[in-house]
């Protein structure tokens, strides 16, 4: 065999090995309903800005060495005076799930690699499958179990997991994760965002135990074109026929036994007899049970329809006004990613108090628990991927990344009644390449889930006193939705907004995805003094007066529910690395503008619905 053939053969072998190592399993639906061991808690960690635990001193990955060892993932202890320059047992700990920035002053601004290590006991059973699951890790994660690589994942806000059945051992196991939140131009999001780059294992980590063939995915929703029918599918992990699946929705009079086809899949369509439809006023959820190979899985699913018709948005066939507010995944009171259901309930309760029936979960996929809470509390949701601002439109890997994150978001949340809108991005600058990139994402949404609306925060510009909305991306979308900051970034004093008008080139429902201005909570002055609560209050009054002139207006999500941290906000007194557009301050105090919007939402119920 010539050296060239030997090289080629070697490449092929490595390729197959990589496929196995990186065999990230297809996303599982409703992981928390499965038998699982939580790995949440205190994990030891090592800060590694130069990635000493991954590369040797010639910047070669230890993984590529003949032994594949030498990295921190070996979790080595020095013996007999051996030189080992790390020790997890003697290292400090971080809470998981949580970002690292909010857990230590030395990590507030940290961008780079941190190694996490956790030890746990297991007793793997024959005939079972074991998935190591991460709710999210921001931004790039390399995962090792008992010193062996199980795979890597990119994307800071979507779940991922690996089949570790062949690496799990009886008794003590150790899992090591390299998480790197370094911002990079060609990633999703890119290097330029207006939110804190919270790094780490920010959502649940768990080890799931499953039958050898398990219920991998399912969709159970009202049919798009005929709400008299419930339709969907179940996909088993094994693509084999004749697998028995039982689905019971007792309160809907549904109890069925099904068999998979040769792809391990079964599609179904049942008459929806006298269902109580889900709505914000009556967020009715049905108990759904799915049974296969001895696994019994419980979910709670609401049934409703969402559609656009001319200028109207129809919920269950009736026109609705999206009384919304934008929300970041951050607890203002204890700065950091929302840490659990209590944090999430607090945010959504504030939205309910504001009079909302709708929230924009900006600018990236939020925690799955947030969507399940929205189902329960009766809030419609605009869900979004972080295709934000100046993305590398011509890079194929960047598009693949965006498409993967969008697909994973839809896979995860497609059974949530609260999700009404899939958003493919925010304020992306006009170009042919951007239009192509975004139009493909819009098409992907329609192929993957035709039952919901697809939208984006479009580009707008001004000509004199006219706000022009003619971003042709709207032609691929269901809403004419855009951000505008009259009275803050342009237009002079808010009182001048009365002289502005809108020229919206699309015959679609108009949803204002952002407007607002900063106010330092507790700073009071006259309504013409920027940064005061009075200025923000006046801005909301004048904005609402201006926006009501738009006859196709069918909703809004002003920016934003609470102050949030951003590395772009340097004013030492008014900002101090906080974006102050919140209607509540970082102490949870309502600013005067909160009551302006709350009053408007009381009125709008009658006017538009
Ligand atoms: C933009 C952007 C937000 C940002 C806001 C602001 O429209 O979408 O992410 O925080 O404006 O400038 O406060």
**Which atom of ligand 1 sits closest to the CA of residue 193?**
9
Structure confidence at residue 19 (pLDDT): 40
Q: What is the CA(21)–ligand 1 centre distance, in A?
A: 39
The residues lining ligand 1, judged by C-beta closer than 6 Å to any ligand atom, are 194, 363, 426-427, 483, 514, 559, 579, 581
CA angle, 403 as apex, 401 and 404 as ends, to 5°?
A: 65
Over residues 314-341, the mean pLDDT reads: 96
Residue 204 contacts by C-beta under 8 Å, 6 or more apart in sequence?
A: 32, 38, 40, 97, 133, 134, 135
Over residues 75-88, the mean pLDDT reads: 96
Q: What is the CA(481)–ligand 1 centre distance, in A?
A: 14
Over residues 171-191, the mean pLDDT reads: 98
Q: What is the CA(241)–ligand 1 centre distance, in A?
A: 50
Structure confidence at residue 77 (pLDDT): 94
CA torsion sign for 91, 92, 98, 104 is negative
Q: How confident is the model at residue 208 (pLDDT cuts 50, 70, 90)?
A: very high
Between CA 516 and CA 326 the distance in angstroms is 11
Contact in structure between 347 and 339 (CB atoms under 8 Å):
no
Residue 267 contacts by C-beta under 8 Å, 6 or more apart in sequence?
A: 231, 232, 233
pTM across the whole model: 0.95
**Which atom of ligand 1 sits closest to the CA of residue 516?**
13
Between CA 182 and CA 543 the distance in angstroms is 38
Ligand 1, atom 9: closest residue by C-alpha: 194
Q: With a cut of 60, say whether residue 555 has pLDDT above it.
A: yes
Structure confidence at residue 608 (pLDDT): 66
Architecture of domain 22-211: Sandwich (2.60)
- With CA atoms as reference, report the closest residue to 213 among 180, 237, 183: 237
Structure confidence at residue 10 (pLDDT): 52
Over residues 40-64, the mean pLDDT reads: 97
Q: How confident is the model at residue 3 (pLDDT cuts 50, 70, 90)?
A: low
CA 431 to chain centre: 26
Q: How confident is the model at residue 329 (pLDDT cuts 50, 70, 90)?
A: very high
Q: What is the CA(177)–ligand 1 centre distance, in A?
A: 32
Between CA 94 and CA 115 the distance in angstroms is 11
**Which atom of ligand 1 sits closest to the CA of residue 566?**
10
**Which atom of ligand 1 sits closest to the CA of residue 579?**
13
Over residues 498-509, the mean pLDDT reads: 98
Structure confidence at residue 609 (pLDDT): 67
- The percentage of residues in the chain with a pLDDT greater than 90, rounded to a whole number, is 94
- Domain map of the chain by residue range? 22-211, 226-304, 320-608
**Which atom of ligand 1 sits closest to the CA of residue 426?**
8
Q: What is the CA(8)–ligand 1 centre distance, in A?
A: 50
CA 164 to chain centre: 25
Q: What is the CA(385)–ligand 1 centre distance, in A?
A: 15
- The percentage of residues in the chain with a pLDDT greater than 70, rounded to a whole number, is 95
**Which atom of ligand 1 sits closest to the CA of residue 363?**
9
Structure confidence at residue 6 (pLDDT): 60
Q: What is the CA(425)–ligand 1 centre distance, in A?
A: 13
Ligand 1, atom 3: closest residue by C-alpha: 194
**Which atom of ligand 1 sits closest to the CA of residue 362?**
9
Class of domain 320-608: alpha beta
Between CA 553 and CA 312 the distance in angstroms is 9
Over residues 116-134, the mean pLDDT reads: 98
Contact in structure between 469 and 460 (CB atoms under 8 Å):
yes
Structure confidence at residue 225 (pLDDT): 75
CA torsion sign for 573, 578, 581, 586 is negative
**Terminal CA-to-CA distance of the chain, rounded, Å?**
76
Q: What is the CA(494)–ligand 1 centre distance, in A?
A: 18
Residue among 189, 190, 192, 194 whose CB has most ligand 1 atoms within 8 A, to mutate: 194
Contact in structure between 307 and 222 (CB atoms under 8 Å):
no
Q: What is the CA(261)–ligand 1 centre distance, in A?
A: 48
Tokens of 258: 């099904």
Q: Report which of residues 331 and 226 the model is more confident about.
A: 331
Average pLDDT, the chain: 95
Express each pLDDT in 519-548 by its tens digit.
999 999 999 999 999 999 999 999 999 999
Query: What backbone torsions phi and psi does residue 587 show, to the nearest 5 degrees?
Result: -100, 5
Cα dihedral 86, 92, 93, 98 in deg (nearest 10): -100
Residue 417 contacts by C-beta under 8 Å, 6 or more apart in sequence?
A: 278, 283, 285, 301, 302, 303, 304, 375
Ligand 1, atom 4: closest residue by C-alpha: 194
Q: With a cut of 80, say whether residue 363 has pLDDT above it.
A: yes
Identify the three-state secondary structure at position 58.
Answer: coil
Q: With a cut of 90, say whether residue 18 has pLDDT above it.
A: no
Structure confidence at residue 210 (pLDDT): 98
Q: What is the CA(190)–ligand 1 centre distance, in A?
A: 15
**Which atom of ligand 1 sits closest to the CA of residue 457?**
8
CA angle, 500 as apex, 497 and 501 as ends, to 5°?
A: 135
Between CA 515 and CA 484 the distance in angstroms is 5
Express each pLDDT in 453-497 by its tens digit.
999 999 999 999 999 999 999 999 999 999 999 999 999 999 999
For residues 165-178, one letter each, b for 16 or more C-beta atoms within 10 angstroms of the residue's C-beta and e for the rest, the string is: eebbeeeebbbbbb
**3-state percent helix, strand, coil for the chain, nearest multiple of 5:** 25, 30, 45
Ligand 1, atom 2: closest residue by C-alpha: 194
Number of Cβ within a 10 Å radius of residue 492:
10
Number of Cβ within a 10 Å radius of residue 218:
24
Q: What is the CA(460)–ligand 1 centre distance, in A?
A: 14
Q: What is the CA(517)–ligand 1 centre distance, in A?
A: 10
Over residues 400-417, the mean pLDDT reads: 98
Query: What backbone torsions phi and psi does residue 540 show, to the nearest 5 degrees?
Result: -65, -40
Q: What is the CA(194)–ligand 1 centre distance, in A?
A: 6
**Which atom of ligand 1 sits closest to the CA of residue 427?**
8
Tokens of 261: 């086809």
Identify any residues that bridge with 118 across adjacent strands, giving them in sequence order: 175
For residues 518-555, one letter each, b for 16 or more C-beta atoms within 10 angstroms of the residue's C-beta and e for the rest, the string is: bbbbebeeebeeebbbbbbbbbbbbbbebbeebebbbb
Q: What is the CA(361)–ligand 1 centre distance, in A?
A: 13
Tokens of 185: 């131009």
Identify any residues that bridge with 116 across adjacent strands, giving them in sequence order: 45, 177
Structure confidence at residue 605 (pLDDT): 75
For residue 93, count CB atoms less than 10 angstroms from its CB and return exposed for 0-12, middle for 13-18, buried for 19 or more.
middle
**Which atom of ligand 1 sits closest to the CA of residue 388?**
8
Q: Does domain 226-304 have CATH number 2.60.40.10?
A: yes
Q: With a cut of 70, say whether residue 2 has pLDDT above it.
A: no
Structure confidence at residue 1 (pLDDT): 52
Contact in structure between 202 and 137 (CB atoms under 8 Å):
yes
Tokens of 15: 């390729």
Between CA 41 and CA 217 the distance in angstroms is 28
Structure confidence at residue 20 (pLDDT): 40
Residue among 459, 483, 571 whose CB has most ligand 1 atoms within 8 A, to mutate: 483
Contact in structure between 601 and 354 (CB atoms under 8 Å):
yes
Q: With a cut of 50, say whether residue 15 has pLDDT above it.
A: no
Contact in structure between 353 and 152 (CB atoms under 8 Å):
no
Q: How many helices (H) and strands (E) would you count in the chain?
A: 7, 33
Residue among 426, 514, 556 whose CB has most ligand 1 atoms within 8 A, to mutate: 514
């Amino acid at each position: 065999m010539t050296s060239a053939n030997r090289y080629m053969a070697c490449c092929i072998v490595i390729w197959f090995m990589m496929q196995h190592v990186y065999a990230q399993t297809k996303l599982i639906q409703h992981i928390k309903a499965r038998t699982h061991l939580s790995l949440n808690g205190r994990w030891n960690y090592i800060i590694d800005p130069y990635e000493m635990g991954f590369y040797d001193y010639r910047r070669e990955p230890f993984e590529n060495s003949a032994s594949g060892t030498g990295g921190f993932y070996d979790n080595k202890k020095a013996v007999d005076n051996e030189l080992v320059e790390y020790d997890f047992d003697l290292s400090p700990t971080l809470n998981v799930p949580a970002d690292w920035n909010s857990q230590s002053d030395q990590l507030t601004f940290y961008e780079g690699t941190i190694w996490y290590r956790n030890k746990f006991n297991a007793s793997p059973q024959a005939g079972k499958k074991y998935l190591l699951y991460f709710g999210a890790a921001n931004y790039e994660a390399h995962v090792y179990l008992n010193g062996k690589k199980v795979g890597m994942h990119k994307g800071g806000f979507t779940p991922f997991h690996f089949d570790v059945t062949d690496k799990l051992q009886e008794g003590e196991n150790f899992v090591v994760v390299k998480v790197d939140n370094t911002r990079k131009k060609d990633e999703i999001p890119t290097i330029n965002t207006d939110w804190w780059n919270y790094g780490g294992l920010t959502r649940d980590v768990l080890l799931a135990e499953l039958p050898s063939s398990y219920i991998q995915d399912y969709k159970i929703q009202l049919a798009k074109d005929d709400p008299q029918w419930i339709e969907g599918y179940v996909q088993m992990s094994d693509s084999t026929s004749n697998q028995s699946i039982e689905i019971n929705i007792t309160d809907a009079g549904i109890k069925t036994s099904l068999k998979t086809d040769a792809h391990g899949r079964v599609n179904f369509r049942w008459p929806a007899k006298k269902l109580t439809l889900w709505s914000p006023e009556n967020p009715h959820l049905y108990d759904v049970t799915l049974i296969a190979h001895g696994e019994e899985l419980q979910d709670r699913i609401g049934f409703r329809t969402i559609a656009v018709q001319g200028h109207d948005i129809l919920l269950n066939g009736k026109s609705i006004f999206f009384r919304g507010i934008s929300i970041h995944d951050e607890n203002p009171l204890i700065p950091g990613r929302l840490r659990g259901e209590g944090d999430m309930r607090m945010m959504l309760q504030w939205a309910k108090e504001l009079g909302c029936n709708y929230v924009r979960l900006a600018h990236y996929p939020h925690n799955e628990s947030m969507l399940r809470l929205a189902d329960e509390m009766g809030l419609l949701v605009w869900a979004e991927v972080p295709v934000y601002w100046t993305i590398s439109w011509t890079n194929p890997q960047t598009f693949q990344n965006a498409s993967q994150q969008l697909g994973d978001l839809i896979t995860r949340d497609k059974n949530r009644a609260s999700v009404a809108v899939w958003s493919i991005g925010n304020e992306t600058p006009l170009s042919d390449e951007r239009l192509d990139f975004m139009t493909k994402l819009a098409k992907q949404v329609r192929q993957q889930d035709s039952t919901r609306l697809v939208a984006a925060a479009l580009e707008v510009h001004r000509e004199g006193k006219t706000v022009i909305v003619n971003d042709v991306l709207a032609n691929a979308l269901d809403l004419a939705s855009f951000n505008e900051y009259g009275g803050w970034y342009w237009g002079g004093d808010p009182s001048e907004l009365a002289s502005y008008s809108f020229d919206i080139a699309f015959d679609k429902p108009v949803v204002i995805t952002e407007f607002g201005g900063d106010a330092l909570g507790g700073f009071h002055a006259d309504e013409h003094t920027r940064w005061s609560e009075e200025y923000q209050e006046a801005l909301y009054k004048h904005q609402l007066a201006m926006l009501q002139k738009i006859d196709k207006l069918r909703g809004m999500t002003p920016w934003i529910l609470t102050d949030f941290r951003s590395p772009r906000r340097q004013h030492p007194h008014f900002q101090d690395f906080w974006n102050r557009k919140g209607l509540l301050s970082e102490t949870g105090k309502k600013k005067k503008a909160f009551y302006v919007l709350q009053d408007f939402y009381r009125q709008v119920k009658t006017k538009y619905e």
